[in-house]
A and B are shown apart, each in its own frame.
Chain A
Amino acid sequence: MVTGQGVVTPLGTGVEKFWSALKSGTCGIRQVQSFPIEDLYITIAGEVPDFDPKERLQSKALLLADKFSQYAGCAAQEAVAMAKLDVPLKDQAGYRAACIIGSGVGGLTTLEFSYKMLFKENKRATHPLTLLKAIGSSASAHVSIEYGIKGPTFGVVSACSTATHAIGLTYRMIREGLVDLGLAGAAEASLNWGATRAWQAMRVLSPDGLWPFAKKRNGTVLAEGAGILMLEEYEHAKARGAPIFAELMGYGMTADAADMVNPSIDGASTAMQMALDDSGLAPTDIDYINAHGTATAVNDINETRAIKRVFGNAANKLSISSTKSMHGHCLGAGGGIEAVAVLKAIEEKFVPPTVGLDEPDPECDLDYTPNTGKKREVNYAMSNSFAFGGLNAVLVFGPAPA
């Protein structure tokens, strides 16, 4: 069961702010503010606009942490509050809780700053907290300390599928009876000069916007944030009177084992099929897919074909959208943020749009909910994450049990 949700996104911090922006089709991609862009040709990104750590966080340890851990701390705080969980967890309860919070690259901005100090400014040493800030497991460690979570606690890494893998893994731990509840998701804060240079060199970024499934699409746009869910075993949630927002019903994961950048239809469609099989639902049951939809030339066609392979004729009745068109590609955090979009879609029976979709690519011919969101029955929904390296993870959510 999902008993809590929290997000930090380029559309704002907090689930309500994020969701109202998605509903109205607001785009959070803007000119970069946080680092110099004079010598870059990619000058746009999805930066979080409203995050002052001093206002958002109480813990001194988190105030000294890298921004990716701070985003995780903030999203976890919202999820814990929403779940009405009595924290810090006491005694045995701590050991019955998991904290699986990943990141694509962890504290990359901390490393960039430290290396600049060493190599360019000829400083004698780096700041003593550099290592603790940089390690990819620091977000999960910080959050476990905040809430007294003493069970399985670590980060997972799978580039743009990170959060989805973290959520799926925690779900399986709960199903296996290893824990009663867990915080699961990911955080990313890797927008900086060096990373933009590295992405530029791969030639996959758009200089002017992220337009999934559109004919004019010309690449993805980097973004940052965090998306974290509180997952909880049904009886445990019921016993303590927790709010139940939805049920996580299925999880599928595969690897293409083919190419670092070119995705395969097999890998993506098999992960979707596995998630469907795991949930016990038929393709015709799914109402909405939050697509991976990165707006690269290859992803959007491949994903469309994979959906058609799994759903057959039912593909034409699906509502699909890529909310990345609004919040950008939040990399490791993407699947967590998008899972929250799916949960809100189920809760409010409203499908958020794909913005910038004025003229679709003829090879992308499904209903991507162009430009304006719409009211419709959303009982069961799927969230796709497909990462560099061909690492695929898919979740299926449904309504809370009556």
Chain B
Amino acid sequence: MDEVATKIIEILRKNMKDPSKPVALETPLSELEIESLDLAVIVFDIEDTFGIEIPYNANEEVEAFATVGSVVDRVKGIIAETKASGAAA
């Protein structure tokens, strides 16, 4: 597992009711017993850790956040976009 994935799983664990549960890339977020407010905290933590902004609204179903792996992919995408726009500016 790469650095982004490791860090994200670390952040998820901090906010799980039972951090001893196994977490893999294919684990669905729904299995982690994360509540809506925890999710806002997790998104904040991820943004802070990677210096990015994630467009996320708790009122909408977010397909992109179905599994741990999909969160990792989405974050990697945003990191790349952020770098690209930084380079352009």
Contact = CB atoms under 8 A, between A and B. Distances in A.
Contacts of A218: 57, 59-60
Interface stretch (B3-11, B21-29, B35-43, B72-80): B35-43
A261 B60 contact: no
Contact of A260 (B37, B43, B55, B60): B37
A201 B44 contact: yes
A205 B43 CA distance: 15
B58 A202 contact: yes
Nearest to B39: A203
A259 B36 CA distance: 11
Contact of A297 (B35, B43, B56, B59): B59
B35 A203 contact: no
Given A217-B59, A297-B58, A297-B59, A201 B37 contact: no
A296 interface: yes
Contact of B36 (A41, A217, A262, A295): A262
Contacts of A137: none
Interface in A239-269: 259-262
Interface in A275-297: 295-297
Contacts, number: 41
A312 B55 CA distance: 40
Contacts of B35: 259, 262
Nearest to A262: B36
A295 B58 CA distance: 12
Nearest to A201: B44
Nearest to A295: B59
A41 B39 CA distance: 19
B40 A41 contact: no
Contacts of B56: 203
A296 B40 CA distance: 15
B55 A204 contact: no
A296 B36 CA distance: 12
A219 interface: yes
B23 to A, nearest CB: 22
A204 B60 CA distance: 10
A9 interface: no
B44 A204 contact: no
A260 B37 CA distance: 8
A246 B60 CA distance: 40
A201 B57 CA distance: 10
Contact of B55 (A41, A205, A219, A295): A41
Given A201-B44, A203-B43, A261 B59 contact: no
Contacts of B53: 41
Contacts of A207: 57
Contacts of B57: 203-207, 218-219
A204 B32 CA distance: 21
B87 to A, nearest CB: 20
A219 B59 contact: yes
A167 to B, nearest CB: 29
Contact of A296 (B37, B44, B55, B59): B59
A204 B40 CA distance: 9
Q: Point out which of B39, B53, B57 has the most chain A C-beta atoms below 10 A from its C-beta.
A: B57
A202 B59 CA distance: 11
Contacts of A201: 40, 44
A204 B43 CA distance: 13
A262 B38 CA distance: 12
Interface of A: 41, 201-207, 217-219, 259-262, 295-298
Given A203-B40, A218-B60, A261-B36, 16 more contacts: A41-B53, A41-B55, A201-B44, A202-B40, A203-B56, A203-B57, A204-B58, A219-B58, A219-B59, A259-B35, A260-B37, A261-B37, A262-B35, A296-B58, A297-B58, A297-B60
10 contacts: A201-B40, A202-B37, A202-B40, A218-B60, A219-B59, A260-B37, A261-B36, A262-B35, A295-B59, A296-B58
Give the 9 A-B residue pairs with the shortest CB-CB distance, closest first: A297-B59, A203-B58, A219-B59, A218-B59, A203-B40, A261-B37, A202-B40, A204-B58, A296-B59
